[in-house]
């Protein structure tokens, strides 16, 4: 047919496209991990890999079961909503085996991590210029870490 007389270039283009597609499928087959798409648009194996990470945090419920006294004191004060490991750091090993001693905390570093005055913090958040405020004394000289507010009726 006269229409296809000069059609060689169309077949060459189609062949190039087919080779391109096959190359793409081949490379994709080699590179995409086996478990991809098992559950969704991600590697299915990623779930078991993440679940196998060692656990570092015990969660405050664990602390509360053994340290009920601390929990109750904290519950009644201004640090009620600051969880144990937010200050004490990850302690899953200690919670599994209490003979593993938690590290002593250095309040000179700990307290200013949250309370150092900064213009970037919400105005309502309690913050102090640490050196002026404490005169270089350790924070726990005046504030109980588990119940930090100082008021006429005693620490809260
Ligand atoms: C299975 C019970 C148990 C669990 C769970 C547990 N602890 Fe303990 N913890 C102990 C015992 C027992 C001691 C050592 C005795 C003591 O000093 O009170 C201790 C000691 C500590 C100390 C040191 C006390 C000191 O005098 O220096 C800290 C801090 C502490 N625990 C914090 C935590 C935190 C935070 C958690 C939660 C992540 C936690 N514990 C979970 C039983 C437990
Ligand atoms: C705002 C920070 C902060 C939070 C929140 C906090 N702690 Fe503490 N905790 C401290 C500091 C500071 C000390 C004194 C220094 C030290 O022992 O490392 C301390 C001491 C302790 C001690 C030993 C001395 C004592 O007072 O009995 C235990 C046990 C303890 N914490 C358990 C807990 C548990 C359990 C929780 C959660 C219910 C908790 N802490 C939450 C800062 C905190
Ligand atoms: C992880 C962050 C964090 C750390 C660390 C921390 N605090 Fe706090 N603190 C808070 C939060 C949150 C509040 C409650 C703020 C609120 O409810 O407005 C608070 C409240 C307080 C208050 C009460 C302020 C008031 O309005 O009366 C004092 C005092 C205080 N903290 C002192 C300390 C001291 C001392 C330490 C070190 C032992 C410490 N904080 C460590 C987060 C922290
Ligand atoms: C010499 C005693 C003393 C020392 C040391 C001290 N404070 Fe205070 N702090 C106070 C008193 C008194 C108040 C006012 C009463 C209150 O709000 O609890 C206060 C209030 C605060 C408040 C609440 C401020 C507000 O605007 O609501 C924070 C936060 C605080 N202190 C953090 C710290 C930190 C962090 C340290 C350690 C760097 C520290 N304090 C050391 C006595 C002290």
pLDDT in tens, 57-96: 999 999 999 999 999 999 999 999 999 999 999 999 999 9
Query: Which ligand is closest in space to the CA of residue 59?
Result: 1
End-to-end alpha-carbon separation of the chain, Å?
Answer: 96
Q: Is the CB of 116 under 6 A from ligand 4?
A: no
Can you tell me which residue has the tokens 């200690």? 94
Query: Which ligand is closest in space to the CA of residue 128?
Result: 4
Q: Sign of the C-alpha dihedral, residues 151, 154, 155, 156?
A: negative
Q: Is the CB of 143 under 6 A from ligand 3?
A: yes
| Cβ atoms within 10 Å, residue 135 | 8
Nearest-CA residue for ligand 4 atom 40 is: 139
pLDDT tens-place string over residues 2-35: 667 788 899 999 999 999 999 999 999 999 999 9
Q: Is the CB of 67 under 6 A from ligand 2?
A: yes
Is residue 89 within 8 A of residue 106, CB to CB? The reply is no
Can you tell me which residue has the tokens 């405050």? 60
Is residue 156 within 8 A of residue 82, CB to CB? The reply is no
The pLDDT score that the predictor gives to residue 5 is 78
Residues with Cβ < 8 Å from 18, sequence gap 6 or more? none
């Amino acid at each position: 047919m006269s229409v296809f007389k000069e059609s060689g270039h169309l077949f060459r283009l189609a062949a190039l496209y087919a080779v391109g597609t096959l190359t793409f499928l081949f490379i994709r087959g080699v590179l995409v991990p086996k478990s991809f798409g098992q559950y969704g648009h991600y590697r299915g194996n990623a779930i078991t890999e993440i679940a196998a990470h060692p656990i570092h945090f015990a969660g405050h419920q664990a602390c509360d079961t053994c340290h009920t006294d601390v929990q109750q004191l904290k519950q009644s004060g201004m640090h009620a909503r600051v969880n144990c490991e937010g200050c004490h750091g990850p302690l899953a090993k200690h919670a599994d085996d209490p003979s593993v001693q938690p590290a002593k905390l250095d309040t000179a570093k700990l307290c200013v991590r949250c309370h150092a005055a900064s213009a970037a913090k919400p105005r309502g958040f309690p913050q102090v210029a640490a050196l002026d405020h404490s005169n270089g004394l350790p924070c726990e000289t005046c504030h109980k870490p588990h119940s930090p507010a100082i008021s006429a009726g005693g620490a809260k």
